[in-house]
Structure 1
Amino acid sequence: MHTEAPQKNLALDLVRVTEAAALACARWLGKGDKISADQAAVDAMRLCFNTLEIDGKVMIGEGEKDDAPMLFNGESLGLGNGPKVDIAVDPLEGTNLLAFGRPNAISVVGVAPAGAMFDPGPSFYMQKLVVPAQAKDVVDIEAPTGHNLKLIARALDKDVDDLVVFVLDKPRHKKLISEIREAGARIQLHTDGDVTGSLMAIDPRSEVDVMMGTGGTPEGVLSATAIRIMGGEMFAKLDPQKQDEKNALAEYGMDVRRVLTVNDLVKSEDLFFAATGISGGTFLKGVAYHGHGAETSSLVMRGKTGTIRYVEAIHNWDALMKFSAVEYD
């Protein structure tokens, strides 16, 4: 039973939240200190969230309460006087990317009505296949890689060797990578950036056509918010990488054979999503600092209307300082 749907376009408030996190942590670009960068993003995001008129609960956060002092799973956010919502956050997606000065670190937030978000429980990893709207009815996560790529290419009116597949550059993907190469498709290998990969696969402005491989379960739920709004699809199966995780899933009663879709991961269309670029790259431009302020690039979406906005913002330090560090428009 979902509570009354939020009527206000929360996405425009959420972009202030991701901008605040991005502005706070982009200073750490290439400095090799991912802990401080993540802390800066978390602090700024939390401060900003707590100015919003929502009664929010973190479903996908920085981890359990003991490990994450803030934005932990279960934490309450907002002023408590607005709509009840589930929140998924990744204040700094790609901590390593930022720490080592690599592209495509982003700050990202998804919001759904209370009770609508899938609870990953003890699941850390899931196998994913993310495709844009045109290809969502033709693929099968359990079909051979080459077969899927043929069908995706046909749906997108391309040849297989025109396709670009986003894959995380991990040892577990050795077989997948050779299968994609065998099929003739092109590959973009990324060291990190699970959410970014999903977004690139469904964003018409991106050169990526599909994302394949195993990544984080929490990131999967967060990505599903955006994928559902944009009409794309993610097929996913829990894919435990260690025996401990397998045992925990069995104990929790989670079925690793079940194929999940975005409708399983977020059970509502009344969704809001925002992402702001931090370190720049192929997806969203990074934070650019000037003497008197900074510029940010963001992607903002609202589920009910399907509206997608690309927001280029110029932030003026003098004006910002008159308010608190994060209360700005």
Structure 2
Amino acid sequence: MVGAGALEYAAVTERVALRVARLEGSGDAGKAYALAAKTFREELRGMPVAGRVALLREHHVDEQGRSRPLKEEAGTLRAGDVVGSGRVRVDLAVEPVEGLSLLVKGQEGAISAIAAAPEGTMLRMPDMYMSKLIVGPRARGHIDIDAPAAENVEAIAAALGRRASEITVVVLDRDRHRELIEEIRRTGARIHMRPEGDLTPSIAVGLRDSDVHAVIGIGGAPEGVLAAAVVKCLGGEIQARMWPVNRSQVERLREYGLADPERKLTTDDLISGDDVVFAATGLTSGETLAGVRYFRGGARTHTVVMSTRPRMIRFIDTIHALEPDAGLQGFQR
């Protein structure tokens, strides 16, 4: 059972965050990504599983929506790698840094995340765009990615027992979303336009007391599978569709067995089965997770870990002594 090792995945994202968060405000996205990918590889080697990296962010999309391949360095984690020292075979979806630009600019909302499920249950796909519609448990069964965005907003509001003007929708702030944003505005719903990253708000959507009620729009495909892991654990719903931008990407989809790029993908298409783990640690503070806070000789991290078997979600606030003498005079809350 994958869920039995949930806390070990949380420890991995914590150790990644402890190293990578030091690059907050550094301005060096390549260095931050390489350090995160290397640390994930190092930490996953000791996991008691045989994990295959099914999905991994390989491109960085800047605030203007331009996609650029991330530079690979020796020792960094790559899609297709097998890591771990155990016998339980699992698929892994890894996001070394979601919100890479946010991190290196010292802005809010960057995280490191990982999801795990039994081998063969994660839908493998290339790193490209994906159109997504993500809601929490109360709106599950009330959405349709084929319907206009306005209809979905009204349906989500009705499922929540609210008016459209009483819900908030997250959309990435991209030129490609101009018409989508205007359509949502006409419903009266509030819009939170994020500069980068739609995985973090996908976590918030599933929490009952959240001020975020839906995520709509086009983002990264690997984050779509990670969001499906969150949805599996929290009981929400994701509908998605691949969004190739040229013929070569259509051909790549066929190589992965996705012959029809127009196919509607459900939560169970993205991750089949009901044994899933998701863990994420904040790098910089955001709506759900606090960022890493350093003090003399140590640091404090904020992590969320969730699983379906057993069904649980846990927020972990951890103080780490990073030097031998740290904490001898007591820790500060």
**TM-score, normalised with respect to structure 1:** 0.90
Secondary structure of the residue aligned to 2:4 is coil
Secondary structure of the residue aligned to 2:132 is strand
Secondary structure of the residue aligned to 2:315 is strand
Quick check: 1:57–1:87 contact (8 Å CA) kept in 2?
yes
1:117-150 Cα deviation digits (max 9, x unpaired): 0011x46111100000111111111111111111
For the residues of structure 2 that align with 1:30 and 1:63, how far apart are their CA atoms?
22
Q: Which 4+ stretches in 1 moved above 4 angstroms?
A: 250-253
Quick check: 1:166–1:190 contact (8 Å CA) kept in 2?
yes
Percent identity over the alignment? 37
Quick check: 2:143–2:155 contact (8 Å CA) kept in 1?
yes
For the residues of structure 2 that align with 1:268 and 1:226, how far apart are their CA atoms?
14
For the residues of structure 2 that align with 1:280 and 1:312, how far apart are their CA atoms?
13
Shift of 1:257: 2.1
Shift of 1:58: 0.5
1:25-69 Cα deviation digits (max 9, x unpaired): 1111112111111222222222111111111110012449x9634
Q: Does 1:178 align with 2:182?
A: yes
For the residues of structure 1 that align with 2:259 and 2:317, how far apart are their CA atoms?
41
For the residues of structure 1 that align with 2:271 and 2:254, how far apart are their CA atoms?
22
For the residues of structure 2 that align with 1:130 and 1:253, how far apart are their CA atoms?
21
Q: Does 1:104 align with 2:109?
A: yes
Q: Does 1:135 align with 2:130?
A: no
When residues 263 and 140 of structure 1 are mapped into structure 2, their CA distance, relative to the original with a 3 A threshold, is: same
1:276 pairs, out of 268, 276, 281, with: 281
1:148-178 Cα deviation digits (max 9, x unpaired): 1111001111111011000000111000000
Quick check: 1:113–1:270 contact (8 Å CA) kept in 2?
yes
Q: Name the counterpart of 2:84.
A: 78
For the residues of structure 2 that align with 1:186 and 1:319, how far apart are their CA atoms?
49
Shift of 1:319: 5.0
Q: Does 1:304 align with 2:299?
A: no
Aligned pairs (5 A) from 1:1-329: 5-6=1-2, 9-63=4-58, 68-69=72-73, 70-79=76-85, 81-120=86-125, 122=126, 124-249=128-253, 253-319=258-324
For the residues of structure 2 that align with 1:254 and 1:189, how far apart are their CA atoms?
32
Quick check: 2:56–2:127 contact (8 Å CA) kept in 1?
no
For the residues of structure 2 that align with 1:59 and 1:223, how far apart are their CA atoms?
15
Shift of 1:250: 5.1
Q: Name the counterpart of 1:327.
A: none
Quick check: 1:166–1:201 contact (8 Å CA) kept in 2?
no
Quick check: 1:108–1:275 contact (8 Å CA) kept in 2?
yes
> Quick one: which amino acid aligns to residue 13 of structure 2?
T
- Unaligned 5+ residue runs, structure 1? 322-329
Q: Name the counterpart of 1:324.
A: none
When residues 297 and 159 of structure 1 are mapped into structure 2, their CA distance, relative to the original with a 3 A threshold, is: same
Shift of 1:283: 2.0
CA RMSD across the alignment: 2.0
With 151-160 and 40-49 compared, the bigger mean Cα shift is at: 40-49
Quick check: 2:4–2:310 contact (8 Å CA) kept in 1?
no
Q: Name the counterpart of 2:64.
A: none
1:275-317 Cα deviation digits (max 9, x unpaired): 0000112221000001131111111011112200011111011
Count of aligned positions: 314
For the residues of structure 1 that align with 2:143 and 2:213, how far apart are their CA atoms?
13
For the residues of structure 2 that align with 1:319 and 1:261, how far apart are their CA atoms?
49
For the residues of structure 2 that align with 1:205 and 1:71, how far apart are their CA atoms?
36
**TM-score, normalised with respect to structure 2:** 0.89
- Unaligned 5+ residue runs, structure 2? 60-69, 327-333
